[in-house]
């Protein structure tokens, strides 16, 4: 099970050992973590630990993957071993860097990784303890892997797939960004021609918590028209929230879709064709 509820998270906390990771993103993420985080949670930073930013987003996008050795060092500092039980959360029901951390750790070969598919408010109401106290850092360990195991797609592969009826490209950004009505982050608005829009927010219920595995299975079988997961490529703005949809699909038992890490941030900076509207 890749996604757990707040109740299941509380039960897991009562059965240590478990490594808890706070993966909230944003410019003030560190301050929000210091103000209140799950007791014992260790923080990871999207910008410096879950991506390896280059000088030009045209080459790999705004959040390119770090090298395996770099991520190995992050995991070693967190005290994570291949046998660790890891639970990660953010303040977007896993829609931000928690899903990215899940994708990276599972792609590194980790078996037991779960994302809390609930809002901070739901977690607090459930009784999960939050604190502003500094978490005790574990003794470092030696974690090592040499390649990402989950499938990814290059810009060239996405371009071929976008015009191939036997493949599907899913854009998980908000609809107004897909339609080209506005672009709050990247330089150009619009979408990859041929890509369909399935906003990641649809993975969540009205209260902001994750939908059930059954509901998500029904949704994505309908969306993909029963294509094999290997025929599906998922992207967003910079390869972060796309992981939320890959997480939702995995939760639904649909595993093997590809992540386009560069996503719109790369595509839109390389003179590629851009579509507007539906």
pLDDT in tens, 238-263: 999 999 999 999 999 999 999 999 99
**Cβ–Cβ < 8 Å for 75, 142:** no
Which sign, positive or negative, has the C-alpha torsion 27, 18, 69, 137?
positive
Q: Which of 38, 75, 105, 236 is catalytic?
A: 236
Beta-carbon contacts of 162 under 8 Å, excluding residues fewer than 6 positions away, are 169, 192, 193, 194, 195
Annotation marks residue 236 as catalytic: yes
Give the per-residue pLDDT at 55: 78
Please report which helix (H) or strand (E) contains residue 233, including its range: strand 232-235
Q: How confident is the model at residue 1 (pLDDT cuts 50, 70, 90)?
A: confident
Could you say which DSSP state residue 202 is in?
A: G
**Tally of CB atoms within 10 A around 107:** 20
Is the pLDDT reported for residue 278 higher than 90?
A: no
215 exposure class (CB count in 10 Å sphere: 0-12, 13-18, 19+): middle
Residue 94 has pLDDT above 90, yes or no: no
Q: What predicted TM-score, i.e. pTM, was given to this entire model?
A: 0.96
Closest C-alpha among 94, 144, 127, 139 to residue 247: 94
């Amino acid at each position: 099970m890749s996604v757990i509820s707040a109740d299941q998270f509380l039960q897991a906390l009562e059965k240590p050992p478990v490594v808890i990771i706070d993966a909230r993103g944003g410019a003030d993420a560190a301050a929000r973590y210091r103000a209140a985080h799950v007791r014992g949670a260790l923080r990871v930073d999207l910008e410096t630990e879950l991506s390896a930013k280059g000088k030009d987003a045209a080459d790999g996008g705004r959040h390119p993957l770090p090298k395996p050795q770099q991520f190995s060092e992050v995991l070693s500092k967190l005290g994570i071993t291949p046998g660790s039980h890891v639970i990660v959360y953010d303040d977007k029901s896993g829609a931000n860097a928690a899903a990215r951390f899940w994708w990276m750790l599972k792609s590194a070969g980790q078996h037991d990784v779960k994302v809390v598919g609930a809002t901070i408010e739901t977690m607090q109401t459930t009784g999960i303890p939050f604190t502003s106290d500094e978490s005790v850092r574990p003794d470092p360990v030696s974690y090592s892997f040499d390649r990402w195991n989950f499938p990814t797609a290059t810009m060239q592969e996405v371009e071929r797939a976008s015009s191939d009826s036997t493949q599907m490209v899913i854009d998980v950004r908000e609809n107004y960004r897909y339609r080209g009505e506005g672009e709050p982050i990247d330089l150009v608005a619009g979408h990859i021609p041929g890509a369909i829009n399935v906003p990641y927010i649809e993975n969540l219920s009205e209260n902001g918590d994750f939908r059930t595995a059954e509901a998500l299975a029904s949704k994505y079988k309908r969306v993909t028209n029963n294509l094999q997961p290997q025929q599906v490529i998922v992207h967003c703005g910079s390869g972060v929230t796309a992981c939320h949809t890959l997480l939702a699909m995995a939760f639904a038992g649909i595993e093997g879709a590809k992540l386009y890490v560069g996503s719109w941030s790369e595509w839109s900076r390389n003179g590629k064709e851009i579509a507007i509207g539906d």
